[in-house]
Amino acid sequence: MFVTGLRCFRCGAKYEMDPKAYTCPACSGNRGDEGILDVQYDYSAAKAMIHSTLHKNGRHDVFRFLPLLPTSKTIGVLPAGGTPLIPVSGLAARLGLQSLFLKDETRNPTRCLKDRATAVAVTMARAHGYRDLYCASAGNAAISLAGFCAHQGIGCHVFVPREISQTRLNWLRRYGADVHISTGNYDQAYDEAEQAGAENGWYSRNCAFNPFLVEGKKTVALEISEQLGWQVRDLIVAPVGDGCTLGAIGKGSRELNLVRLTDRIPRLIGVQSEAVQPLVKRYHGEAVREDGGTTQAESIAVRRPRNALRLLYEMRASHGHMLAVSDEQISAAQRLLAQEAGVVSEFTSAATLAGLFQLAESESLANQSAVLVITGGRLDCDF
Ligand SMILES: [Zn+2]
């Protein structure tokens, strides 16, 4: 393993590697941003290993990239990752792009990118003797955890907001999860989950709390680059809620550059809903930490984002852009993805295409290439 330690995004404090570490102790109790820890690696040592591993390694799941992960062992969890990258020339032409690809994360075991983080969480929990995991979620992370725990035969405790859809509840119950429906929104469910997790000694699958989960998510960026022959595309577009997914994509992209598999990093484009856009506002200089109306894009309706510092760091490092789109724009994009790309995405994931159309109105995308991360979409998702 090439992990050298953990570093706090807020205060910069460094800690020894501890598989049971969550947020920064020095920043606990502080109002405002949480002390999110970031996993640090010895990239010069990992470089040789990642090159040789990729050549001889027949794995196609997240553990293909083991030298850049915080575990040295695998335990046979459901295979997350190894999803297709689909060229969509018709949509590229509509946007004036040279090329456009969809990273189809609907092909994961529970049809969602979150499975990448869950694969790492369940692996680390089992390796350190835990028999129960928990998370707060608007639906997708909970469904992901429920599926992986069902496969492993271990306890799964999920905390969901009051407004969770019946479709998502049905998925959770099919997997046999212990479901706690909050009387409030996602942010309240998050606080309830953390309290129950601490009281019961369960392992956390909250991505903005447990620093090792982002490491699983970043494998989507590693995979995209490998599928493109390490030729970096100009833009990577993803929906933004807590900030974990796009932050992870930024980290993965930088790491590939550090181990000399790529010669540059892509520009990150983050998309939020017009109704709930605290990170768009903050990136553009407004001093907000909470924001919120109502939107059908419930997976990114995070009024108080917990991984803001990570996201903002990666956005600046990539000279990225944040924008917000309406539910009407997302709805039109969701239909286009199905009709012109053959991909059924969930509502939130279609925000990526809506965001790219909006970006094309403010700047020319000629001679540029882009990748949309279609983070999830179940066969029974609502259109
Ligand atoms: Zn700190």
DSSP code string of 339-362: HHH-----TGGGHHHHHHHHHHHH
Q: Which two tokens stand for residue 126?
A: 């089992």
Give percent above pLDDT 70 in the chain: 98
* Spatial distance between the Cα atoms of 244 and 279, rounded to a whole number of angstroms: 12
Calculate how far, in angstroms, residue 35's C-alpha sits from the geometric centre of ligand 1.
4
Least trusted range by pLDDT, from 169-178, 291-300, 329-338? 291-300
Calculate how far, in angstroms, residue 14's C-alpha sits from the geometric centre of ligand 1.
8
Report the DSSP pairing between strands 3-8 and 37-41: antiparallel
Residue 380 has a pLDDT of 57
Residue 383 has a pLDDT of 47
Calculate how far, in angstroms, residue 332's C-alpha sits from the geometric centre of ligand 1.
42
Domains and CATH numbers, the chain: 85-111+214-374 (3.40.50.1100), 114-204 (3.40.50.1100)
Calculate how far, in angstroms, residue 23's C-alpha sits from the geometric centre of ligand 1.
8
Residue 369 has a pLDDT of 97
Calculate how far, in angstroms, residue 13's C-alpha sits from the geometric centre of ligand 1.
6
Which comes out higher in pLDDT, residue 258 or 164? 258
Calculate how far, in angstroms, residue 276's C-alpha sits from the geometric centre of ligand 1.
27
CA dihedral 217, 218, 220, 221 (to 10 degrees): 160
What sign results for the dihedral spanned by CA atoms 322, 327, 330, 332? negative
Calculate how far, in angstroms, residue 213's C-alpha sits from the geometric centre of ligand 1.
18
40-78 confidence digits (pLDDT tens): 999 999 998 898 888 887 899 999 999 999 999 899 999
pTM: 0.95
Q: Count how many residues are written for the chain.
A: 383
Calculate how far, in angstroms, residue 198's C-alpha sits from the geometric centre of ligand 1.
20
State the pLDDT confidence band at 379, using cuts at 50, 70 and 90: low
Residue 381 has a pLDDT of 55
Q: How would you class 253 by CB atoms within 10 Å of its CB: exposed for 0-12, middle for 13-18, buried for 19 or more?
A: buried
Residues 6 or more apart from 40 whose CB is under 8 A from it?
A: 3, 4, 5, 6, 7, 14
* Summary mean pLDDT of the chain: 93
Calculate how far, in angstroms, residue 38's C-alpha sits from the geometric centre of ligand 1.
11
Calculate how far, in angstroms, residue 300's C-alpha sits from the geometric centre of ligand 1.
26
Calculate how far, in angstroms, residue 314's C-alpha sits from the geometric centre of ligand 1.
18
Residue 382 has a pLDDT of 53
Cβ atoms of residues 298 and 138 within 8 Å: yes
Task: Measure the CA angle with vertex 300, ends 298 and 306; round to 5°.
Answer: 130
Residue 165 has a pLDDT of 85
Whether 378 shows a pLDDT value over 80: the answer reads: no
Strand order, beta sheet including 155-160? 178-181, 155-160, 132-136, 203-204
Phi, psi angles (nearest 5°) of residue 37: -90, 150
Calculate how far, in angstroms, residue 288's C-alpha sits from the geometric centre of ligand 1.
20
Calculate how far, in angstroms, residue 29's C-alpha sits from the geometric centre of ligand 1.
11
165-202 confidence digits (pLDDT tens): 888 899 899 999 999 999 998 889 999 999 999 999 99
Phi, psi angles (nearest 5°) of residue 321: -140, 140
Q: For the chain, where are the alpha helices, taking DSSP H only?
A: 43-56, 89-95, 114-127, 140-152, 166-174, 186-200, 213-217, 219-227, 244-258, 278-283, 308-317, 327-341, 351-362
